[in-house]
């Protein structure tokens, strides 16, 4: 059932921890071993983590095929493969082997595009257990947005957040995770309040379903403003970290939960215990999620025909432009790469 | 702040465990003590349990003011009352003192309309901790449907069922709990499959949002039919008990959960372990729920402007007709009593 | 079944928010109403919260019978009481009405010795649902230590901490909650590491079962020291708050949990997200606990014949000395009052 | 770091679904690929499932190297292996890829000794993620008892059972899972009541720590007897299935849980809903467990220096005798194979 190839195909490689070291190389097209599948990759998307890995902040292998998030079609299967078949359109999962439940120590250390080669290549081998079928109604570029931003939002809301219909969720900003969280929270029957520094982004978020919003530039004490507006929120998708945690605690209702996604700021946060303890509050760190959550998310995406927000799409050769767009953060929605362009 | 009354007002009393012993009596209008409120009752609804209590199957006090479910307006408050104020429209909770979490031993033994006087009277005293404000958009008769049927459905779906958007729920029949479950499951972004013996009721359930249905009269092996139709369900709201549990297990997907509401049949159920164990399934008994779930439910009802399905409404004096309608089960929706009629 | 009294009996009252306003008064001995019991109080214990209430930091009623923690014997029962009988030795629970599960908003606002009269009196009325029988092997003074310090430790370890045998728990200091936590964690088959500023207290904690210890005075970076010693801890009973949270996060193993008991410092804590998020950690605030946890704790105390550590015991009239001993913190173990002295 | 071998070594193979088809063959000693390790196997143990697989009740590959449970020493490591090193003594996990959390569909379908070759051979390759280091104090034969019987008992008590100190656990019989459960429950500070048909086995269980026992042969209504003796149990480790479930429900206290391990009887069980629902009870199926639970269990085994109960030990060539001993069930404790004999 497998095929052999002597041909090579395109891959992008990072050879030093610097953006200008990114280059297109030719890599051999490999034959899947037992339990493996080979994907013909079609699209990829970028996350903030990809900048961190490019800069080598946490090490990582070199040369490295970057990016963790992509989608491809199964074009060859190794011996004994049963979970997927030829022609299935799948995403590799972020952390190979994370199939269910909470993460175990070390599992995200081998995530794609870091210490394991990523998806920015025409063909890749993946263990059959490490892929997830994607909803049919999504374009390739949309499907490529799911693995990190989508699953992280799902974990934040449902695995740790235990969101119930009628509850109010505070979502910070309009980045990749936040827009997914907005979409999922509305599908789950929750009320959503969003904060942003831009009235224009607030309008777009409302068009996507946000019920209420606070502009945190004009309301530096936005935690209080959110509490007043909503009566206190049951859940916060906390992506800001150092700059936002104390305000998030202020916004919480009694018994409120915080899903702590953000660790980007690099600075320690203030945790106002004088509010946190009497509110019987809790905080849980969120680290993407495993295959089971990815599949649960896809089921909801399919049922509700949800679509990720795509900000900009580049061609395979425009990877530098894609990274620059990620840095510039001008657009609302994911930065993506369409391999067909 | 309290008022004294020497006047009396109407109450219905069961004097023997027989329907024909129900009679209207005059009871004194009491003054609320510390921490109590007095409600001017406006409406009530009937549940299957009220038949059981009438027949004295599980004992219960005599004479008894029957019915656990009703709504009234706070017309007098005792010393130190802060949770509610004059004019608030509230439901007494099913089991006094059950304010949060899972039930503790004995707590449902003092539920209203059983070992404690119920709501079928013009005025009643309740501890301030034992009432819940109801959503404004509901009529009195609609609000009176919430305490048992609503909260039981909420517990089944969210407390024990941990329902997530995109999951599929199997709901059995179109009784009070089932129709609430349908409404809540749709608000929560789930897919709903319903079983019924009546194509007409199936049509009505679909009009209310059910995605799929199986007529269990024409499909006695409906568990298999549901599994085929849906790919297996994540959750069952099991109200049938002996007659349905084995089929419900058949309908489950891997990892599926059963919320066991029904104990009505009085006959032991078959549990097919040969399916149950390999599916990694679970069953949790559901006993209504406490004040915290009632309030969480009301928040969702208000946000989504949901309305209970009222089948028939009788006047205060037509209590016998109400019981007979409950026995006859001709209508889809709750049997209610409007005290203003 | 109830008895009437025209007699009065001793009670201590706080008349201003100052220690020197504490005085013994005579209060009438009341007759229990329906669902109430009257206790002949035998012993009480003090918690840090009692200092806070005395100073009026969070308001509270005046005059106030202080102290939340005590034990007494049921000497009269009102109509319909079934949970306890004459002669039963019971503790009133900390927050009336908190019978199960997580706390609901406002419930600790009416805790004894704050906005409701406390236990420092010869006789008190309590709702039958608000008392818990205590293990027979405990002295009165020991039993009086349970309601806040014991139940808080239990909540921290088992309700939020989900402690399993073989896990390592970090316990901070040797205060009331910490010594209970040490005792319960050992009974649960966990390994315990303790921090203290005193080598002498460390020795005593080891004699009580602590497996390892770090002196935080000689090891200011004690979080790292604990992590090295233990390989990282699964759970922290965090009583220090501002001064300790960051070190506690450092001590955590992957997936570790923090039960945040302490809010005493009044200063905001630092939460090092750069450690917290990659460790997939979590923090849950702990607010004592309800009747169900109290009963579960008592079951374990009885089975393992555990005994609270009593530091000093004063007579009923020595309440000022008891408060001063609480402030001085010279002793390891609870400050108690024996009404028989 | 890896070594090549042209040599072969012993393996037992099942060539038909019949015991007399078991034979010793020579299989090539393979070189570990990337991420794999090769184990020099030292001991194995048998479970009831091995009989089921031998008979081919659920299919399975042929020829098959049987048995899922064994222990070996890492003697060669493939590229990139970091979780374990040469000389580590490890057990392969039951279901390859089950690293954390609840099982996902299909994962136990590829468990060792069924659809994947098992451990009854001198050398085997395993993915580095699929092994677990074992406590030093255990002999090889003892360590070989852990993977199925140990982890199943752990899951039953702690993953699904959420056992707390002071609770009472009912353990059925003295088979492999039950004896592990007894040992773990005592380490966790629980009270244990055991049922058995043999007074001699009851004595041995008591010597191992069981607090109470009922002989189910002399007490056919043993559920009631257990309830009377204990006041009702919080948890049942239900291994009997059809023959025992109804009695187990009878033995439950209010809020009690059943961990349903047994599916062996092949006959449907009776579930007495008239008891189950009013007790607010629950049942959860237990399917062994993943690597995270195995590691958590080993931590407890090491801390408490626990030892599995070994019933009989055979040499590598005595596999037929081992199967016969499993069938005969004459001994209390695990049937094991010591490869060094």
- pLDDT by residue (tens digit) across C121-135? 999 999 999 999 999
Task: Give D183-223 pLDDT, tens digit per residue.
Answer: 999 999 999 999 999 999 999 999 999 999 999 999 999 99
Neighbours of A15 (CB within 10 A): 13
Rounded CA-CA distance C76/B289 in Å is 32
Task: Give, rounded to a whole angstrom, the gap between the first and last alpha carbons of chain D.
Answer: 30
* CB-based contact A303 B166, cutoff 8 Å: yes
Contact D272, D250 (CB under 8 A): yes
Residues in chain D with pLDDT values less than 50: 1-3
User: B256 to chain D nearest CA, in Å?
Assistant: 10
Determine what percent of chain D falls in helix, strand and coil, rounding each to the nearest 5. 30, 30, 40
Buried b (16+ CB within 10 A) or exposed e, A211-245: bbbbbbeeeeebbebbbebbebbbbbbbbbbbebb
Neighbours of C18 (CB within 10 A): 11
pLDDT value at residue C265: 57
Helices D291-304 and D176-187 pack at an angle, to 10 degrees, of 60
Residue of C nearest to B82 (CA): C106
Contacts of C167 in chain D (CB under 8 A): 296, 299
What residues contact residue A271 under an 8 Å CB cut-off, 6+ apart?
A: A245, A246, A249, A283, C245, C268, C269, C270, C271, C283
Q: Is the bond preceding residue A63 a cis peptide, omega within 30 degrees?
A: yes
Rounded CA-CA distance C188/D190 in Å is 8
Nearest by Cα to A147 from A289, A36, A304, A329: A289
Q: What is the pTM of this model?
A: 0.96
Residue of B nearest to D241 (CA): B273
Taking CB atoms and an 8 Å cut-off, how many pairs form between chains B and C?
43
pLDDT value at residue A224: 98
Question: What Cα–Cα distance (Å) separates residue B112 from each residue in B67, B277, B287, B340?
Answer: 7, 38, 14, 22
* CB-based contact C166 D191, cutoff 8 Å: no
Going through chain B in order, the beta strands assigned E by DSSP cover 8-13, 23-28, 36-45, 69-77, 89-92, 123-127, 131-133, 168-172, 191-196, 212-215, 233-238, 252-260, 269-271, 282-285, 310-315, 334-338
Contact D221, D211 (CB under 8 A): no
Contacts of A106 in chain D (CB under 8 A): 83
Q: Which of C97, C102, C106 shows the shortest C-beta gap to B97?
A: C97
Which ipTM score applies to this complex?
Answer: 0.95
Chain D interface, mutation test: which of C155, C165, C300, most D Cβ atoms within 10 Å? C165
* CB-based contact D189 C189, cutoff 8 Å: yes
Residues 277-296 of A with CB under 8 A from B: 296
pLDDT value at residue D267: 66
* CB-based contact B262 D254, cutoff 8 Å: no
Task: Give C172-206 pLDDT, tens digit per residue.
Answer: 999 999 999 999 999 999 999 999 999 999 999 99
Rounded CA-CA distance B118/D263 in Å is 45
pLDDT value at residue C243: 84
Enumerate neighbours of A (3 or more CB pairs within 8 A): B, C, D
DSSP string covering B8-29, please?
Answer: EEEEEEB-SSSGGG-EEEEEE-
**Whether A231 contacts chain C with CB within 8 A:** no
Enumerate neighbours of D (3 or more CB pairs within 8 A): A, B, C
Q: Which of A33, A100, A129 shows the shortest C-beta gap to D100?
A: A100
pLDDT value at residue D220: 95
Nearest by Cα to C219 from C244, C186, C192: C244
Contact A30, A38 (CB under 8 A): yes
Chain D interface, mutation test: which of A31, A34, A95, A101, most D Cβ atoms within 10 Å? A101
As a whole number, mean pLDDT of residues C281-303 equals 98
pLDDT mean across residues, chain C? 95
**Whether C105 contacts chain A with CB within 8 A:** yes
As given in the structure block, the two tokens for residue A108 are 């995200």
pLDDT value at residue A241: 87
**Whether D303 contacts chain C with CB within 8 A:** yes
pLDDT value at residue D265: 57
pLDDT tens track of chain B, all 341 residues?
A: 344 556 999 999 999 999 999 999 999 999 999 999 999 999 999 999 999 999 998 888 999 999 999 999 999 999 999 999 999 999 999 999 999 999 999 999 899 999 999 999 999 999 999 999 999 999 999 999 999 999 999 999 999 999 999 999 999 999 999 999 999 999 999 999 999 999 999 999 999 999 999 999 999 999 999 999 999 999 999 998 888 999 999 999 999 999 999 766 556 788 999 999 999 999 999 999 999 999 999 999 999 999 999 999 999 999 999 999 999 988 799 999 999 98
Residues in chain A with pLDDT values less than 50: 1-3
Contacts of B104 in chain C (CB under 8 A): 99-100, 291-292
Buried b (16+ CB within 10 A) or exposed e, C280-313: bbbbbbbbbbbbbbbbbbbbbbbbbebebbbbbb
pLDDT value at residue A251: 98
As given in the structure block, the two tokens for residue B290 are 């406490």
* CB-based contact B188 A191, cutoff 8 Å: no
Nearest-5° angle of CA B8, CA B14, CA B17?
170
As given in the structure block, the two tokens for residue D122 are 């001198």
Residues 151-190 of A with CB under 8 A from B: 158, 162, 164-167, 184, 187-189
């Amino acid at each position: 059932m497998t095929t052999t190839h002597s041909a090579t195909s395109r891959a992008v490689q990072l050879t030093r921890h610097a953006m200008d070291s990114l280059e297109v190389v030719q890599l051999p097209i490999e034959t899947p071993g037992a339990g493996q599948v080979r994907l013909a990759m079609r699209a990829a998307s970028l996350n903030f983590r990809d900048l961190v890995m490019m800069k080598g902040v946490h090490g990582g292998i070199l040369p490295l095929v970057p990016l963790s998030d992509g989608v491809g079609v199964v074009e060859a299967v190794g011996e004994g493969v049963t979970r997927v078949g030829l022609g299935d359109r799948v995403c590799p999962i972020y952390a190979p082997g994370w199939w269910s439940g909470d993460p175990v120590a070390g599992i995200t250390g081998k995530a794609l595009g870091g210490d394991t080669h990523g998806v920015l290549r025409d063909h890749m081998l993946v263990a059959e257990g490490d892929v997830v079928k994607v909803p049919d109604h999504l374009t390739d570029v949309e499907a490529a947005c799911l693995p990190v931003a989508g699953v992280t939002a799902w974990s934040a809301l449902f695995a740790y957040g235990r969101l119930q219909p009628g509850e109010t969720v505070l979502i910070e900003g309009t980045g990749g995770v936040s827009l997914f969280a907005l979409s999922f929270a509305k599908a789950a029957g929750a009320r959503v309040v969003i904060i942003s520094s831009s009235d224009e982004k607030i309008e777009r978020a409302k068009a996507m379903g946000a019920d209420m919003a606070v502009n945190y530039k004009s309301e530096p004490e936005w935690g209080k403003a959110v509490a007043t507006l909503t009566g206190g929120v049951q859940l916060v998708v906390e992506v800001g970290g150092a700059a936002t945690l104390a305000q998030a605690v202020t916004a919480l209702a009694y018994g409120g939960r915080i899903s702590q996604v953000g660790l980007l700021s690099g600075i320690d946060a203030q945790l106002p215990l004088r509010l946190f303890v009497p509110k019987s509050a809790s905080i849980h760190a969120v680290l993407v999620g495993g295959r089971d959550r990815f599949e649960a998310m896809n089921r909801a995406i399919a049922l509700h025909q949800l679509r990720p927000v795509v900000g900009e799409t580049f061609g395979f050769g425009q990877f530098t432009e894609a990274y620059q767009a990620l840095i510039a953060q001008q657009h609302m929605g994911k930065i993506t790469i369409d391999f067909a362009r």
